Amino acid sequence: MVNLKINNIPVTVPEGTTILEAARLAHVEIPTLCYLKDVACVGSCRMCLVEATGARGLVAACVYPVSEGMEVKTNTEKCRKSRKMSLELLLSKHKKECLACERAGNCELQRLSTEYGCDPNHFEGEPLDHPLDESAPYVVRDRDKCINCNRCVAACKKQSVGAIGPIGRGYNVHVGSAFEMSLMESVCVGCGQCIVACPVGALKERTTVDSVWEAIADPEKKVVFFTAPSVRATLGEAFGLPVGTNVEGKMVAAIRRLGNVEVFNMDVTADLTIMEEAYELVSRIKNGETLPMFTSCCPGWVKFVEQKYPDFIPNLSTCKSPQEMFGALLKTYYCEKNGIDPKNLYVVSVIPCTAKKYECTRPEMNGEVDTALTTRELARMIKTAGIKFADLPDEEFDNPFATATGGGAIFGATGGVMEAALRVAAKLLDGNFEVVDFPEVRGTSPIKEATYSVAGVTVRVAVASGLANAAEILDGIKAGTRHYDFVEIMACPGGCVNGGGQPTLPDSVRNNVNLKGLRAKALYSADKENTLRASDESPVMAQVYGEYFGSQGSHKAHEVLHTHYTANKRI
């Protein structure tokens, strides 16, 4: 342990701790721009410079280790002047369109510039006129707003994707894709982790909010929304509620007040995905078909396989994601049952993910979901409509797609798909099986493994979140060092609760709060409180199979609920 003082406050921390980490124990917040816990720590932005005994000049608190007897000053005149100059230099090559920027009021550069009283025009840079990269259906990149903090680069590298990186030198250095290609031409999989890592407005989702407003205003259109499991655990953050608050009832009430729309529960098709996926898994095991079987509900993960590991495409479950299953269910069963022309049904998915925007455009999905909105986009619509979210009463989802099981709710957390599938698969193997809790696959650990034995059948499973961890599992399977029957992969670390479309929170929250854990806790609480735990217990499943699909794995189910994937190997 090391003893030191930060602004005259005694602190004791383990050896190897950085000044930035030690300062938090003294309740001192040192400003940062390039630092992001567990993602980026390079000391390049120079915002965290502090004075420390034993050091020559100012040092970067995010990388500088503490030492015995050290005295640190974080708020001297020298520190403040240095930070102000660094900010004004950043502003000299930053497109200052704060009034039109969607990060206005939630931008780290804007906040720090205000706090340090910066003159945005103190240094005059070259004119900024680089075109937007709008090539992808899920993200827009604005080079003229980029401050070269490289947090997006670090996030992409951490995902083992490497679609973006620094190009050029000196004043001309900028972030881009290899050979200045567009994002759509690159190896980008659309996970959106770069967006939530960005401290400014240089990266954002490609919004379709205006299209949704137009559909709501169109008297010829019937508009239906459905919301992904994790959105209820994160939407409240956009309205100042504590991280991990379950706002399901307020979320439904808010969407209903956007116009004449119906609001359905995507947990229903999470259950439907499990019904088909569990049946497919048991069939593969019993019939000696391709194993291990991989989950396919995450489009970022699917694209990762198609591009980097196409040999594993046969291992992907043929099940569509819950989003696409809902679109297919609405434009077939629901339209037929209610005498609606599918062309007049406008389907809006609310999701925690930017890759789902890409998924909507895949030709294999037949345009069954008209558009996907991120959690952030829904929050903006609610604010635009003048709805006081925190004051809303709790309301229920609309029938016939209101009731779902706890297995559907935990889909948004890493390990949730696996646990929900095991609940149903175990019953298919042993009709008397009653266990519903599989704690071995829970938690935010990057990779989790477990082995279960049911009715004489041994099932070896693995769960991974974050594409670097997915690559580790795939490489292990190829090398013959890892052996599984069923594998769940989610592209985003921690799962959908930490998706690229979730609310953008300030660094003071992201660096100090366990977002993944608190958000996931809300979903597991919803599961525990639900009287229906396994997907096959849902009355909606009984209804749709009884009235339309017949049975799990039926020809009709394959026609509507299953799909295929295509190798698209990139360099």
The DSSP symbol for 468 reads H
Tell me which of 205, 236, 266 is where a domain ends: 205
Residue 571 lies in a domain: no
User: Do 290 and 414 share a domain, yes or no?
Assistant: yes
> Which residues lie closer than 8 Å to 462 by C-beta, 6 or more apart?
292, 447, 448, 449, 473, 482, 484, 486, 487, 488
CATH number, position 556: 3.40.50.1780
Give the pLDDT score at 5. 95
Contact 297, 319 (CB under 8 A): yes
| φ/ψ of residue 508, rounded to 5 | -60, -25
Residue 233 lies in a domain: yes
The Cα–Cα gap between 412 and 515 comes to: 13
User: Do 237 and 284 share a domain, yes or no?
Assistant: yes
User: Do 379 and 461 share a domain, yes or no?
Assistant: yes
Residue 81 lies in a domain: no
Tell me which of 156, 180, 205 is where a domain ends: 205
Contact 333, 113 (CB under 8 A): no
Task: Write out the residue range of the structural domain in which residue 277 sits.
Answer: 210-561
Tell me which of 48, 75, 102 is where a domain ends: 75
User: Do 157 and 261 share a domain, yes or no?
Assistant: no
User: Do 176 and 225 share a domain, yes or no?
Assistant: no
User: Do 280 and 314 share a domain, yes or no?
Assistant: yes
User: Do 227 and 140 share a domain, yes or no?
Assistant: no
Per-residue model confidence as pLDDT tens for the chain (571 residues):
999 999 999 999 999 999 999 999 889 999 999 999 989 898 899 999 999 998 889 999 999 999 999 999 999 999 999 999 999 999 999 999 999 999 999 999 999 999 999 999 999 888 888 999 999 999 999 999 999 999 999 999 999 999 999 999 888 899 999 999 999 999 999 999 999 999 999 999 999 999 999 999 999 999 999 999 999 999 999 999 999 999 999 999 999 999 999 999 999 999 999 999 999 999 999 999 999 999 999 999 999 999 999 999 999 999 999 999 999 999 999 999 999 999 999 999 999 999 999 999 999 999 999 999 999 999 999 999 999 999 999 999 999 999 999 999 999 999 999 999 999 999 999 988 988 999 999 999 999 999 999 999 999 999 999 999 999 999 999 999 999 999 999 999 999 999 999 999 999 899 999 999 999 999 999 999 999 999 999 999 999 999 999 999 999 999 999 999 989 866 4
Residue 82 lies in a domain: no
User: Do 37 and 154 share a domain, yes or no?
Assistant: no
User: Do 502 and 391 share a domain, yes or no?
Assistant: yes
- Identify the CA nearest to 61 among candidates 25, 15, 11, 19: 19
Residue 80 lies in a domain: no
User: Do 151 and 264 share a domain, yes or no?
Assistant: no
Residue 567 lies in a domain: no
> Which residues lie closer than 8 Å to 548 by C-beta, 6 or more apart?
332, 333, 556
Structure tokens at 442: 């829970």
Give the pLDDT score at 342. 96
Residue 568 lies in a domain: no
For the chain, the first-to-last Cα distance in angstroms comes to 47
Contact 300, 355 (CB under 8 A): yes
- Identify the CA nearest to 461 among candidates 445, 432, 438: 438
Residue 566 lies in a domain: no
- Identify the CA nearest to 564 among candidates 319, 330, 367: 319
CATH number, position 160: 3.30.70.20
CB neighbourhood size of 532 (10 A): 19
Q: Which residues are designated catalytic?
A: 277, 280, 297, 317, 356, 359, 364, 496
User: Do 284 and 178 share a domain, yes or no?
Assistant: no
User: Do 68 and 98 share a domain, yes or no?
Assistant: no
Structural domains of the chain, count: 3
CATH number, position 69: 3.10.20.740
What string of DSSP letters covers 45-61?
Answer: S-TTEEEETTSSS-EET
